[in-house]
Amino acid sequence: MIKTKYLIFISFLLSAQFLHATIVIDSVDVKNLVPYSWTPISDIDKVTEFAGKEIPKRTAKLLTTAEQNYTSAFSKMKNKEYSEAIIDFNAAMKDYKRAKLNDDALNYINANLALCYAHTGNKGDLAVVEKFLSKLTNTIYSDNKWTYNIAVAWSKTNKKSEATSLLSQIIRDDEYNYQAYVTLEEIYKNTGNLSNAKKVKQRMHNAQARQTRVKQIQAKKSNSGASERKKIEKKVFPAKGIKPDILNLRIVTQEDPLKYEGNKLNNLNDRNTSKVQEGVDQYNDGTKALSNKEYSLAQSKLKNAEKNLKRGKISENGLSHIRANLAIAYLSTGDKRGANQAKRYLKYITPKIFKEGKYKRDWTYNLAVAYYTFGATQKSKNTKKEFMDKAIKYLRWTIKHDKLFLPAHESLIYVYKEINEDSKAKSAQNAYEKARNELIKSFSREEQIAQGGEPRIFRVHLGTYGEFDTPAGLFEQENIIIIPISDTKTTYLAGIFENLQEAIAYQKKMKKSGYKDPYIISYKEGEKVEF
């Protein structure tokens, strides 16, 4: 036994030495990367994209002049003539605003103005940087190149935490973005956080090792011959996943929009305190309506909730829950106007909804589906890609929150297939199968009894129906449970299973029978529990 362990240890050391040697030879050379190094980005075509058909013909001259000034400013910016670039960017900004371009369109000029002010060398200009950065909308952060440049601008201010947060986000999205690692490490060093600096450096080395291994595998495959490559090309990945469905989300109905710091409840007069309470009640009513698929009522209640809680000076983080459900309510209608309204609400979602709280998994998944739903309606390739990328990003985050949450796995497979990323779809399928097997095992009756307490039971949610759309065969199902939702709507559950695998088999059977989106609900000791 000792000899076996010793041989394994020796083998590990040899493998590690080999890997290290490979890294030296084949990996990306990060030694030449300089902290805070950045490359100016124009994206002038994206600025005018936001003009679209909404811009009247009379403003065409304004746009032409603005583009000329923008181009001139960018040229000076590339030559590090930052003060001169600021003059031309401001001139361009004036005409773009007169042309009534929205905040998304102005992102690029605001970001470049922030970068110019950050690099003039004048200490007084640093105070201006934050002014322009605070105007940026979430749209620009879908592009990691812009996100990196914005992080560099933040690093020049006293708010280093903003820079580290953005750089960490980039690394999560792209583990091979070595420039982000180098800059993040340096910021931590400069702020005295040597522990985090060390962690960032180690994480970068791990990424280099993984990339090296991928290159080796790719090189091996490329040398396997033309005939073998043809065989590979002919293979079509069969996995389809399940299309993200905005109409089949589990709406979060027990969230507290007042829980975040930054609320100014102590400074409110009686009138505004009353408005806050009214807003909370309307939020609860709105989420209940949304859960019952009463979309018009949900929109009305949630809009009033947002209005009243704004008056009560509730933080943007708290308002994000309202806006997320408003986006879902509008997208659920399926009309163009609803989609445009949803986009407006999605723009103001703050990051905390994805990262904090008991229901972060559910919020992240629901918003991923919302981004997908909006993206699927878009004709513009750039807009479609932007929202599909966000959907993928938040589906992956959902899985990080809960690796056994199967709907996120299935949705991710589908989205990858839809954008023709077969290799990524296959990887997502493998991850799904692993998670499914682990989930089924963890919910086996024997496993639960071994852990103590009463084992779970599983039922299948068959849908919510009104008086005239209830399926004829519904009452023929075994162990049917009827739950009145309102005067006109009733929810139906069927089946009672002691293990998850049987519940999944019944769920598939019901789907084949014509029930649109049946899903499984778990109960423990008579109470509904998440799984």
> Is residue 67 situated within a structural domain?
yes
Query: Do 60 and 171 belong together in one domain?
Result: yes
Query: Do 125 and 264 belong together in one domain?
Result: no
> Is residue 92 situated within a structural domain?
yes
Query: Do 111 and 130 belong together in one domain?
Result: yes
Q: How confident is the model at residue 21 (pLDDT cuts 50, 70, 90)?
A: very low
- Which residues span the domain enclosing 59? 44-213
pLDDT tens track for 276-285: 888 889 999 9
Query: Do 186 and 304 belong together in one domain?
Result: no
Cα 414 to Cα 14: distance, rounded to the nearest angstrom:
41
Give the three-state DSSP class for 194: helix
What order do you get walking across the sheet with 527-529 strand by strand?
Answer: 481-484, 490-497, 457-465, 519-524, 527-529
Instruction: Judge if pTM exceeds 0.95.
Output: no
pLDDT tens track for 469-513: 777 677 777 778 777 777 778 888 888 887 777 888 888 888 888
Q: Domains in the chain: how many in total?
A: 4
Query: Do 450 and 377 belong together in one domain?
Result: no
Which residue in this structure is represented by tokens 């960032």? Answer: 200
Query: Do 59 and 191 belong together in one domain?
Result: yes
Dihedral sign from CA coordinates of 232, 234, 238, 244: positive
Report the CATH number at residue 347.
1.25.40
Q: Tell me what the mean pLDDT of segment 137-157 comes to.
A: 93
Query: Do 425 and 484 belong together in one domain?
Result: no
Q: Exposure string (b/e) for 159-179, b if CB count within 10 Å is 16 or more? A: ebebbbebbebbbebebebbb
The whole-number pLDDT of residue 24 equals 34
Looking at 358, 382, 397, the residue that finishes a domain is 358
Alpha helices in 156-177 (DSSP H): 160-173
Looking at 442, 475, 505, the residue that finishes a domain is 442
The whole-number pLDDT of residue 271 equals 63
> Is residue 18 situated within a structural domain?
no
pLDDT tens track for 203-262: 998 888 788 777 777 776 666 554 444 443 433 344 568 889 898 888 988 888 777 655
The whole-number pLDDT of residue 117 equals 95
Q: Is the per-residue pLDDT at 302 higher than 50?
A: yes
Q: How confident is the model at residue 27 (pLDDT cuts 50, 70, 90)?
A: very low
Residue 444, C-beta contacts closer than 8 angstroms, at least 6 positions apart? 499, 500
Q: Tell me what the mean pLDDT of segment 377-388 comes to.
A: 90
- Among 170, 161, 167, CA closest to 142: 170
The whole-number pLDDT of residue 471 equals 78
Q: Partners of 40 in the beta sheet?
A: none
How far is CA 82 from each of CA 86, 87, 113, 118, rounded to the nearest angstrom? 6, 9, 9, 9
Q: Is the per-residue pLDDT at 4 higher than 70?
A: no
* 318 contacts 280 by C-beta, under 8 angstroms: no
Q: Is the per-residue pLDDT at 353 higher than 60?
A: yes
The whole-number pLDDT of residue 5 equals 37
Cα 64 to Cα 67: distance, rounded to the nearest angstrom:
5
Q: How confident is the model at residue 413 (pLDDT cuts 50, 70, 90)?
A: very high
Cα 265 to Cα 268: distance, rounded to the nearest angstrom:
6
